[in-house]
Amino acid sequence: MTNPEVAIFMLCLFIFLVLLGFPIAFTLLAMGVAFGYYAYYKGGIETLADVFDNNIFYLLNQNTYSVMENDTLVAVPLFLFMGYVVERANIVNRLFFSLQMAARNLPGSMAIAALITCAVFSTASGIVGAVVTLMGLLAFPAMANANYDKSFASGVICAGGTLGILIPPSIMLIVYAAIAELSPLRLYAAAVFPGLMLAGLYIVYVITRVLINPSLAPKPKLEDIPPTAKIYMDLLVSFVPLTLLIALVLGSILGGLATPAEAAAMGAMGGLVLAAIYRSLNWRMLKESVFLTAKATAMVCWLFVGSWTFASVFSYLGGHDLIAAWVLGMELEPWQFLVMAQLIIFFLGWPLEWSEILIIFVPIFLPMLDVFGINPYFFAMLVALNLQTSFLTPPMAMSAYYLKGVLRSQIELMQIFRGIMPYLAIVIFSMALMYRFPGIALWLPDYLFGAYQP
């Protein structure tokens, strides 16, 4: 039955329950079944069998099966496994310290090394929590011992850790491709320059800030600097193999040589090879990596099942049509629609994470893109940049809580919030820059695959 008022109540209740701390995936699932039972109710329950004679159970079963057979989502556990193997092979430790020494002559060398390490590692793992946690344990104590400002250091780690959901091969882009029915290859190509641009702007900010206020990041002491030959040997040993693996994975996808799932499988195998080379491959490490991969993959799958069930019921009740009619009734210009959509996603980033925003709310805007004549890949990149803010916007900045969770009494939460605010402004500036110059996102996919045809 069509009942838009119930759909809006359903949406508001979901946000309220999430703010109370209920698990998101199972909240979506429970609300989808409960409101779906009402939406598909046939009436006339006389026997126990009549209780289960409701289309919501068929919908739930079909959504579960769709997630299981989705070829695009096969890449998710493989990329996760690659990231966990790399994390436990101590490659990231070597990478950070070698980059730190190689960048010793630049202002804020440790911060720059932390940003580059975050970008490389988050690209390999795609898990913001894992990157921020590991770098919080690895880079923050090193910067604190070098008398870096704690707020400044925490902002670097929190912002750098979020880059993995943007720079390909990104799990978030795989999820977006599955939701919007877009080519993951074009999405990866579209994300290359925006991701590099954002990482580059972060580094420029760090250098500029330290030049203005050198006390934020003192230079390393001469006695702490090893010989130049050792620095570059360590860099060669740690940086080259990992970046080569990522380049091979991404290059095989963009070159059309492999699907994302096939490339992810190659990346997972490459991660095992690197772990073996670094003599870190053992049964305990392998068991932990498999367990964490299964745990994270199960969370993603249940999130998909719950979200698709919730979204299907929401649409059946008329929620999508009501919102679409409201937006189209405003008679907005394309740029006004883009601003409004991005503002809504920005504010949703306060209580929600990127996965819920993508699966529940982004599909509301997707059917309107043709009406406003907006390239869906350009819109996807605006959303991808915007979703960085879901980890950086207080009071629910998850990257800040990840970092606080591992540092505990070493830093106050408000210090972390102060440190991440400049990076939030940089993300918004990046979005404005990409809107002004759409080629930042669209040139590479158009060059590799031809101009987009709706």
Walk along the chain (454 residues) in steps of 10 and give the mean pLDDT of each run.
Answer: 80 83 82 86 68 79 80 79 79 78 81 86 69 82 87 91 81 83 89 91 93 87 61 70 81 82 86 85 88 82 83 84 82 88 85 75 84 92 89 80 83 89 92 93 91 79
Predicted pLDDT at 395: 72
What number of other Cβ atoms are within 10 A of residue 244's Cβ? Answer: 13
pLDDT of res. 126: 63
* Cβ-Cβ contacts under 8 Å for 198 (sequence gap 6 or more): 163, 166, 385, 388, 426, 427, 430
For every residue of 347-360, DSSP letters joined together read HHTTTS-HHHIIII
Residues 84 and 70: beta-carbon distance below 8 Å: no
- Model pTM score: 0.84
Q: Which amino acid appears at position 219 of this protein?
A: K
Nearest to 79 by CA among 217, 238, 188, 233: 188
Tell me the three state secondary structure of residue 191: helix
Looking at residue 438, its pLDDT comes to 92
Give CA–CA dist 229/10, Å, rounded.
Answer: 63
pLDDT at 379: 94
Q: Dihedrals φ, ψ of 336, to 5°?
A: -70, -40
Model pLDDT, residue 50: 65
Sequence-distant (≥ 6) Cβ neighbours of residue 31 within 8 angstroms: 10, 13, 14, 17, 310
Cα–Cα distance measured from residue 55 to residue 53, given in angstroms and rounded to the nearest whole number: 7
Residue type, 137: L
